[in-house]
Amino acid sequence: MGSAAPAHHPGSAHPRRSGGALRRWLGENPLGILLSAPYAIFVIVVFLIPFGFGVWMSFHDFYFTAPGVEVPHPFVGFDNFATVINDPAVQQAFGNLLIFLVINVPLTVVLGLLLASGLDAAVQWRGFFRISYYVPYITASVATLAVWIFLFNSNGVVNSLLGPLAPEPSWLANPTLIMPLIALYVTWKNLGFYILLYLAALQNVPSELHEAAQLDGAGRWQRFRSVTLPAVRPVTSLVVLLSIITTAQIFTEPYLLTGGGPNGASMTPALLMYQLGIQQGKPDIAAAIGMILVIAVLIVSLISRRITEGKDR
């Protein structure tokens, strides 16, 4: 007698079907989600939840209370934003940030690309120069700022070298010079990181492109303009974006150098948020400044991306 055909149970296809749905949710390699889950949780807890709370705070009358004390926080709409926009100190802080941006971003792009091009062409001492440029980036700001204070205070090395040409008042007390000085410091400190980005991009440019341009009679500047610049355009866009984000977060340097002085000449939105939110107990006003800063950074970043990346051809 022939063996009976196995009975077909209608529900037997469900495990396979559910497994296919699970695979669509988790992807072909669920282990990747498992490994990335701790960082995703970190981002949600440390960044997204505080950001959402900051958005909520900016639209309410909020102030700190003792633990366990429940007080109402009424909705005030855009009143906090109106207070921020009409505050001369906030306007000055964003103006200082604009000065920093105008100095820091072009210097970072130009110096980073030029120095990376020099390192790419150099044969000897390349490793030494890479380390030399990168050391300030990994050094604590407190240590490097102490050196700059030693250099630029009223009795510092720079004024001693300049003699009668030294500015009056001195660098750290000069409302006109303090923000450009901070911009120069941040450019110098972070430059090593951007040099490495450009250097990696330059080393991926095929040498055949330079050789073909040279055979066509292109000089060094023409090869740089027609071969190098287009090849590093994506990295330039990244460098500009990171420089803008660094500009928005500027806090440590003005806080340690001048505390925001003289007369608010080095005050930045981040430092002002700290003073209002922590020292003066106005976290709702500080949150409104933060929201305006986020929107401004997004707008400037989108504009810079359109300019640096250009249109696809």
Assess whether pLDDT exceeds 60 at residue 202.
yes
What are 247's two structure tokens?
């500009």
Assess whether pLDDT exceeds 80 at residue 5.
no
Assess whether pLDDT exceeds 90 at residue 184.
yes
**What confidence category does residue 25 fall into, taking pLDDT thresholds of 50, 70 and 90?**
low
**How far is the CA of 69 from the CAs of 62, 72, 214, 271, in angstroms?**
13, 10, 75, 28
Segment 156-183 shows an average pLDDT of 89
Supply the pLDDT for residue 217. 67
Q: What is the pLDDT of residues 249-288, one digit of tens each?
A: 899 899 988 888 888 999 999 999 999 998 888 999 999 9
Assess whether pLDDT exceeds 70 at residue 308.
yes
List, in sequence order, every residue forming a beta bridge with 60; answer none if it has no partner: 75
Supply the pLDDT for residue 131. 81
pLDDT > 90: percent of the chain = 34
Assess whether pLDDT exceeds 70 at residue 115.
yes
Angle between helices 178-203 and 126-138 (to 10 degrees): 140
Supply the pLDDT for residue 20. 61
Judging by beta carbons within 10 Å of its beta carbon (0-12, 13-18, 19+), is residue 41 exposed, middle or buried?
exposed
Assess whether pLDDT exceeds 70 at residue 34.
yes
Query: For the CA atoms of 229, 298, 242, 268, what is the dihedral angle to 10 degrees?
Result: 130
Supply the pLDDT for residue 82. 94
Segment 15-40 shows an average pLDDT of 68
**What confidence category does residue 21 fall into, taking pLDDT thresholds of 50, 70 and 90?**
low
Q: Lowest mean pLDDT: which of 2-16, 225-239, 242-256?
A: 2-16
What are 252's two structure tokens?
């440590």
Q: Lowest mean pLDDT: which of 37-41, 110-114, 185-189, 308-312?
A: 308-312
171 Cβ contact list (under 8 Å, min separation 6): 152, 153, 156, 158, 159, 177, 178, 181
Angle between helices 283-309 and 233-248 (to 10 degrees): 170
64 Cβ contact list (under 8 Å, min separation 6): 281, 283
Segment 292-313 shows an average pLDDT of 83
Supply the pLDDT for residue 313. 43
**What confidence category does residue 178 fall into, taking pLDDT thresholds of 50, 70 and 90?**
very high
Supply the pLDDT for residue 4. 53
Looking at every residue in the chain, the average pLDDT score rounds to 83
Spatial separation of the C-alpha atoms in residues 55 and 63, rounded to whole Å: 14
Q: How many residues does the chain have?
A: 313
Q: Lowest mean pLDDT: which of 4-13, 64-73, 87-96, 165-174?
A: 4-13
Spatial separation of the C-alpha atoms in residues 56 and 59, rounded to whole Å: 6
Give the residue, 57 or 213, on which the prediction is more confident.
57
Tell me the range of 11-15, 219-223, 244-248 where mean pLDDT is highest.
244-248
Q: Could you write out the DSSP letters of every residue in 237-258?
A: HHHHHHHHHHHHT--HHHHHHT
Assess whether pLDDT exceeds 70 at residue 154.
yes
